[in-house]
Amino acid sequence: MIEVNKASVRMDDRKLFAGLSLSVGEGQMVCVTGGSGCGKTTLLRAVLGFVPLSEGHISIYGELLTPSSAVEFRKQMSYLPQELAFPVESVREMVALPFGLKANRNLLFSKDRLMEEWGRLGLDTGLYDKKVTEISGGQRQRIALSVCGLLRKPIFIADEPTSALDEHSAALVAGYIRDMASRGCAALLVSHDTAFAEACDRRITMGDTYHDRGL
């Protein structure tokens, strides 16, 4: 589904990464790790079509990712960023927000289905009536993930999906994303969490050289 071929990105005359190749197939969880500043988040943004490559190319479903094709490809993706900020006051508004986007207007929001997703992520149903400011960062992270699961997109991209979580909640998240992959979703993930990375099918370590461990 996703093919990154000899990709390089430079910003302000600084090389973030160069010569990076990876692939994520249907039903796979691929985790990208590496030190701060090596370009992990930039890689995700490049796959989303928000950051242009200096060299190399990215293909989705065998088609070249370009500024014009990126708009259509993003309709097939759900994205969980590390920094979560929502222009709403309540959790109920937060979970409904993606369903109001043009790309998702053919999808129906279901509170009952959402509550099923919450149960799998260890979230209390009472959070639905809370204000966003009343819930923790970890709860906000899992709620946002549950919406990604509800959208049922074929490609899932996440930046540090367990960063605000304890060990138990992180394990629930890893299992949840594994279930998404088992339904055919291709998951490209960035994480510093060693246990989470070990739960993935492949682990790509970014740096001066690249190490690809897994399938």
Number of other residues whose CB lies within 10 A of the CB of residue 155: 22
Confidence at 211, pLDDT banded by 50, 70, 90: low
pLDDT at 204: 94
- Beta strand spans in 35-135 (E): 55-60, 63-64, 77-80
Closest listed residue to residue 83, CA positions, set 29, 39, 47, 137: 137
pLDDT digits (tens, 9 = 90+) for 59-107: 999 999 999 999 999 999 999 999 888 889 999 999 999 998 888 888 8
CB 23 within 8 A of CB 2: yes
pLDDT at 212: 66
pLDDT at 170: 96
CB 163 within 8 A of CB 81: no
Q: Where are the domains of the chain?
A: 2-214
Q: Which CATH class is domain 2-214?
A: alpha beta
pTM of the predicted protein model: 0.93
pLDDT at 208: 55
Alpha carbon 121 to chain centroid distance?
16
pLDDT at 83: 86
The answer for residues whose C-beta is within 8 angstroms of residue 140's C-beta and 6 or more apart is 84, 132, 164
pLDDT digits (tens, 9 = 90+) for 29-67: 999 999 888 899 999 999 999 999 999 999 999 999 999
